[in-house]
Structure 1
Amino acid sequence: MTPDPAESPSEGPPPSEDRSRGDRPGDDTGADASHGGPGEASPPAERAESPQAAEPAGAPESEASPAPAASTAAAPPPGATPSTATTRSAESPAPPVSGWRRFFRLTLPGCWGALILACLSFTPSLLPRGGVLQGLICGISAAIGYGLGVVLAFIWRAFADRGPRRAARTSWYVLLVCAVLLFGLFFALGQYWQHEIRQLMGVTDFNVHTAVACPFVAALVFWLLLFAGRGIRGVYRWVARLLGRWIGERAATAVGWLLVAGLVWSAFTGLLLNGLVTAANESFSVRDTQTPEGVHQPETSLRSGGPDSLVPWNSLGREGRAFIGSGPTERDIGAFTHRPAQEPIRAYAGLVTSDDTETRAARAVADLKRAGGFERENLLVTTTTGSGWVDPAAVDTFEYLSDGDSATVAIQYSYLPSWLSYLVDQSKARAAGRELFDAVYDTWSKLPQDQRPRLFVAGESLGSFGGEAAFSGEYDLRNRTAGALFAGPPNFNTLFREFSDHREAGSPEIEPVYKEGRTVRFTDDPATGMPPKDRPWDGTRVLYLMHPSDPIVWWSPSLALSEPDWIGQAPGGDVLEEMVWLPFVTFWQITADLPFSTGVPDGHGHKYKAAYVEGWNAVMRPTGFTTQDLDRLEDIIWPGR
């Protein structure tokens, strides 16, 4: 009579003993049914001939199975038929493996998780992606999927109250076939979706070589992340063993995880991240001493850095000198309007002016007052992006529509470029926006009411975040300004989120309606109108420009685990209907879109030059400009559109 495999001693130690040592959470190389590859479920007859040779081939990392049990499993008991022995072999725990081979072992549940998320990473996001970028997203998604698969397998075994088992060779063959078919299918679909996005945005460049490189980049990223995770786990196990000499095993496990997690977090934020930011800050501070080609020190006292200015030319910084040394002149504006114009005033204070934001803002406002900025009809307070950049399209348009009877003031608060400041300089942007507006408002409010200029606020990207910081809400904006224009607001903007989250029922998140649009409105294209079109828009006008395809506007850490309204609703004009929300995957897709948000044609992504003419026309409501005049101005602001 053939023995029952379920009662065979070749099964090794009881499940509880296996779980106590070899089947911990995250132990993806333990004595798991899914460990090993297709060739590791060797026939028992072969193992009987050479048990020592067979042990490394299918051995897991765990040492839960004692040597006697392993040797018993190597040979079938007397009277057992080959079929029963084979069945018992497929179900038995694998012998242990030690050393570097553990780093290259994979589990079946982990591989299924990696395959699923890798395929889903090809779904479209907001912007076109090249092959290398897609490979990066695919590799990260696969690594996350692998980890999820391992954890889910552990939870399943815990509920099933059994130890880990080795996967049969057939299971690996099924995985291999599915991997080839599914990955090939989604790779092809991904190329089709990227083609459709490029068509929507008018992007023509496509590199077939980078598309072919995608799978190789994905594999490299996957293994690097897997090795990093296993390295961290190795440190944790070493710490847990060390602590186990003085405290119990469970306590050592918990304390070990906490210590290693804290060490990794401290190393990332304290050493790696801060080190990179410091190095970048030093590098870009050197760049800040340069002057862009074609920019010269002004000869007029109406500009900072010019004659009688309180702010020296060499203290303005690279972007400050570009801002001061450019823009339309009195002659340029008169040639456009065909009527008398004035020379616009521009005031600016660079980062080296003072280490203190309040002092820097006070210096800029003092220079603005010296130049006669508070005597103009229109006064614009604009918050810069990280490096001190002010979008020329925003200020030039403001000056043209003012007939030059305008003044603009700004200050620098960082050396870092916008995409990096977006991550690390939020507090500096908030302080700069608040201190500058408060300094301007303090002087402005002391003027007689009939002598005050119309006070406007503007900011793009992180500049909109800083520009909002001076105000507590809609009423404050309405009470202290004549209007505001914010372009590409980051998703973490306080007022932007308040207005969007409290929008009227039925209005989409990509174009929300807040309090019947009486003060604040949103649009992706002001030329087509700003909803609600049938409601009055009197008094102060606050306008947000935001493209449906702008990742700066829609990126949020919450994307990892929760679906935002804007994905579930009807997509914007430059977003594919096939875009869906996927846990973890969508977060990494839009994160990867961030650095390339300005690498698309104007009117898409994070590029708003095309919207400033109609946007400022709506906010300022200037007189004497026809539709044809606005078209001509767009040709000036956006040549070759």
Structure 2
Amino acid sequence: MALRTGLNGKVMLTLPSYGGLIGAGIGYAASLTPSLLPRGTFFMILVAGLGMAAGYAIGSTVEWISRSVVRFTASYPDRKIVLVSLLAIWIPCAILTPIALGWQYDQQDALNFTKGAPATVALFLGAAFLGLIFVCIGRGFRVVTRLLARAIALIPGLSTWVSASPERIRWFRSIVAAAWCVGSVAVFGGAFNAITVSYDSINADSSGQNPVNLGINSGSAGSNTDWETLGREGRFYVNNTMTSSEITRITGRPSSTPVRLYVGMQQAQTPEERVEIALAELDRVDAWARPHLVIYGVTGTGWVDPDAINSIEAVTGGDVTTVTVQYSAVPSWIGFLIDPQTSMDQNSILTKAVVNRWKSLPSDSRPELILFGESLGSMGTQGAWQAGDQPEEVTQDIQKIVWIGPPAESTLWKSWQAERTSGPAWDPVVGDGSIVQVIVTPETSGTANPNQGTRIVFAAHANDPVVYWSPSLLLSKPDWADSPLGPGVMPQFRWIPIVTFLQVGLDLVAGGEPPEVGHNYSAQMAPAVALGIDHPDWTSSDLERLSAALPNLRYETG
């Protein structure tokens, strides 16, 4: 059944679209195919319901166009044709449902996920219920638009003018629909602002955080940044620096105490002002005199991955200053979907400012620059360059770069995938392969690039939805979906218009991936950092000890 408005303005129930029912079956079946990650009960029912609703909408539209062109006078063809065609669609759907559940269990086993999926009947009925709700919401939008148009048209004088011709009625309804859309966008914007405010309050909350291990880090006495303005993640970060003894236990060599600098987004209103504070912090701690200087691109909440920063400090022997600037307090997936430009602006300004100051120093007495970015921070730090820039250009000043889990729209990652000289999109060979290396699994991290001293390391799982979801998935087949599929991707995976867009989009927010799967890079962090920095004193034994030590070195965040 469906909603519509009659000529008298009353809301009525009508029979569902014949084409819509066929499309819903196709959409349901397509949604059951494997995505990049396994789906639990809730997300499996949700994506199946979305597939049904999308299929219904497409089928209804095709039917409407066909009837308009062929001038059908009836909504339905012969009843026997209807019955046979619907059975031909929905019986295979019923058969496919338990098969699809088997695919989910196989994928969960292969990727070490906790087992869980709905029963066959629960999946089918749950998807049908959700699909009906989504269809009613869509129909309800049209009904509300028409009712609004009718109500507005009752304004004295306007009703007479609008009803003077069918053309005016159509235009009037279109104007009301457009106004409704604008209002919906405004409501959505208000909801996003409310979400932002809630995360801002979490970011500002310093309860349970006390400055006890700051040393000369940001937030300490004499710092240009106040403890309270560092943000929640910033306070965790500067308060948990590795000690020289912890580093020595890993390397067996004398070590220094690292320095951590952080500028919270509350410290200043503009990206440029925050970067000025960051430069002042670098000057304060004499970072330019240390052997290593790391520009760190944080995730959306301002989170600094403990495994990442501890790996950086261990590999460099603690003789390193790491600087970062917060640009947001919302999770990366929200920032990626709603406002990725903020990350790119802040990180680009920071990177360029540090490089320019570094260039002004004597070449024989300045630190080695290292760039690190994870998730949205990876995308943001790549914003310092343009699509088409080659690895040789990128590494002119910053010769050691590590990018972890770069989102699909990251400038260089996207460009170099498209321009690869060989290999699949999930493991591209960029140029002659001497500078850029992609870590897809831990096994691919053991070989150093032949061009010693200059390298760019990507860690990008073939089943990471952050790395491979993009708006283009809606209608365009991506290169990474071609054979051969990457490690951890089910052989039954197929790109399907609209459906794959929805599936991988929901993979973004599902979360809970075990190590080495999806957007969880805990197993690759130490190898990626060690390979990217390529410290001359670092050994494979050091890497083994670091990997074993990292779980015990993790500190509280969030």
TM-score of the superposed pair, with normalisation by structure 2: 0.90
Give the aligned residue type for 1:542. I
Counterpart position of 1:368:
282
Counterpart position of 1:219:
128
Counterpart position of 1:18:
none
- Indicate whether 1:338 and 2:282 are aligned: no
Counterpart position of 2:433:
517
Change in 2 beyond 3 A, CA 1:319/1:562: same
The 5 A counterparts of 1:473-512 are: 473-474=389-390, 475-504=392-421, 506-512=422-428
Say if 2:3 and 2:139, in contact at 8 Å, map to a contact too.
Answer: no
The 5 A counterparts of 1:91-130 are: 99-102=10-13, 105-130=15-40
- Greater shift, 122-131 or 515-524, is seen at 515-524
Gaps in structure 1 of 5+ consecutive residues? 1-26, 31-60, 64-96
The 5 A counterparts of 1:393-408 are: 393-408=307-322
Offset of residue 162 of structure 1: 3.5
Offset of residue 237 of structure 1: 4.2
Give the aligned residue type for 1:281. T
Counterpart position of 1:409:
323
- Indicate whether 1:275 and 2:190 are aligned: yes
Counterpart position of 2:61:
151
Give the aligned residue type for 1:516. D
Counterpart position of 1:139:
49
2: distance between equivalents of 1:331 and 1:224?
60
Residue by residue over 1:177-217, the C-alpha shift from the partner in whole angstroms, topping out at 9 and shown as x without a partner, is: 456633322220121111111112111332557x7643343
1: distance between equivalents of 2:118 and 2:52?
23
1: distance between equivalents of 2:450 and 2:350?
31
Give the aligned residue type for 2:127. A
Gaps in structure 2 of 5+ consecutive residues? 154-158
Change in 2 beyond 3 A, CA 1:260/1:142: farther
Residue by residue over 1:607-641, the C-alpha shift from the partner in whole angstroms, topping out at 9 and shown as x without a partner, is: 11211221122221112333222111111124599
1: distance between equivalents of 2:89 and 2:464?
33
Counterpart position of 1:543:
457
Say if 1:522 and 1:530, in contact at 8 Å, map to a contact too.
Answer: no
2: distance between equivalents of 1:115 and 1:192?
20
Counterpart position of 2:205:
290
Helix, strand or coil at the partner of 2:364: helix
Helix, strand or coil at the partner of 1:508: coil
Say if 2:271 and 2:346, in contact at 8 Å, map to a contact too.
Answer: yes
Residue by residue over 1:581-620, the C-alpha shift from the partner in whole angstroms, topping out at 9 and shown as x without a partner, is: 1111111111111112x41101110011211221122221
Offset of residue 374 of structure 1: 1.5
2: distance between equivalents of 1:571 and 1:189?
21
2: distance between equivalents of 1:556 and 1:62?
40
Identify which of 235, 241, 246 aligns with 1:327.
241
- Indicate whether 1:187 and 2:97 are aligned: yes
Change in 2 beyond 3 A, CA 1:415/1:176: same
Say if 2:41 and 2:116, in contact at 8 Å, map to a contact too.
Answer: no
Offset of residue 232 of structure 1: 2.5
2: distance between equivalents of 1:412 and 1:225?
38
2: distance between equivalents of 1:261 and 1:138?
29
The 5 A counterparts of 1:68-107 are: 99-102=10-13, 105-107=15-17
2: distance between equivalents of 1:441 and 1:98?
66
The 5 A counterparts of 1:595-634 are: 595-596=509-510, 598-634=511-547
Offset of residue 107 of structure 1: 2.0
1: distance between equivalents of 2:313 and 2:174?
58
Say if 2:261 and 2:278, in contact at 8 Å, map to a contact too.
Answer: yes
1: distance between equivalents of 2:116 and 2:553?
23
Residue by residue over 1:329-361, the C-alpha shift from the partner in whole angstroms, topping out at 9 and shown as x without a partner, is: 111011221221100011001111111111111
- Indicate whether 1:231 and 2:146 are aligned: no
Aligned residues: 543
2: distance between equivalents of 1:538 and 1:623?
10
2: distance between equivalents of 1:400 and 1:146?
56
Offset of residue 152 of structure 1: 1.6
Counterpart position of 1:575:
489
2: distance between equivalents of 1:640 and 1:403?
16
Offset of residue 157 of structure 1: 2.8
1: distance between equivalents of 2:167 and 2:67?
19
Give the aligned residue type for 1:267. G
Give the aligned residue type for 1:519. I
1: distance between equivalents of 2:273 and 2:36?
41
Residue by residue over 1:518-557, the C-alpha shift from the partner in whole angstroms, topping out at 9 and shown as x without a partner, is: 33232213542489x8x73344211111101100111111
Counterpart position of 2:110:
200
Q: CA RMSD in A?
A: 2.7
Counterpart position of 1:8:
none
2: distance between equivalents of 1:549 and 1:461?
14
Helix, strand or coil at the partner of 1:409: strand
Offset of residue 269 of structure 1: 2.1
Give the aligned residue type for 2:141. I
Residue by residue over 1:116-175, the C-alpha shift from the partner in whole angstroms, topping out at 9 and shown as x without a partner, is: 111211110011111221111111111111121122222333443442254444345446
2: distance between equivalents of 1:591 and 1:320?
29
TM-score of the superposed pair, with normalisation by structure 1: 0.79
Say if 2:405 and 2:460, in contact at 8 Å, map to a contact too.
Answer: yes
- Indicate whether 1:431 and 2:348 are aligned: no
Say if 2:348 and 2:384, in contact at 8 Å, map to a contact too.
Answer: yes
Helix, strand or coil at the partner of 1:499: helix
Say if 1:302 and 1:344, in contact at 8 Å, map to a contact too.
Answer: no
Say if 1:29 and 1:62, in contact at 8 Å, map to a contact too.
Answer: no
Offset of residue 328 of structure 1: 1.5
Offset of residue 299 of structure 1: 4.5
Give the aligned residue type for 1:282. V
Identify which of 148, 160, 164 aligns with 2:70.
160
Helix, strand or coil at the partner of 2:403: strand
Question: Which has the larger Rg?
Answer: 1
2: distance between equivalents of 1:147 and 1:299?
58
Say if 1:521 and 1:530, in contact at 8 Å, map to a contact too.
Answer: no
Offset of residue 579 of structure 1: 0.5
2: distance between equivalents of 1:618 and 1:352?
35
Say if 1:610 and 1:638, in contact at 8 Å, map to a contact too.
Answer: no
Residue by residue over 1:367-402, the C-alpha shift from the partner in whole angstroms, topping out at 9 and shown as x without a partner, is: 122112211111100111111111111111111011
Say if 2:20 and 2:56, in contact at 8 Å, map to a contact too.
Answer: yes
The 5 A counterparts of 1:558-569 are: 558-569=472-483
Residue by residue over 1:431-473, the C-alpha shift from the partner in whole angstroms, topping out at 9 and shown as x without a partner, is: 1101211222232222111111000111111101111112232
Say if 1:560 and 1:587, in contact at 8 Å, map to a contact too.
Answer: yes
Say if 1:387 and 1:414, in contact at 8 Å, map to a contact too.
Answer: yes
Say if 2:145 and 2:180, in contact at 8 Å, map to a contact too.
Answer: no
2: distance between equivalents of 1:544 and 1:573?
16
Helix, strand or coil at the partner of 2:57: helix
Change in 2 beyond 3 A, CA 1:175/1:386: same
Offset of residue 236 of structure 1: 4.6
Helix, strand or coil at the partner of 1:515: coil
Counterpart position of 1:17:
none
1: distance between equivalents of 2:92 and 2:71?
33
- Greater shift, 603-612 or 622-631, is seen at 622-631
Give the aligned residue type for 2:337. L
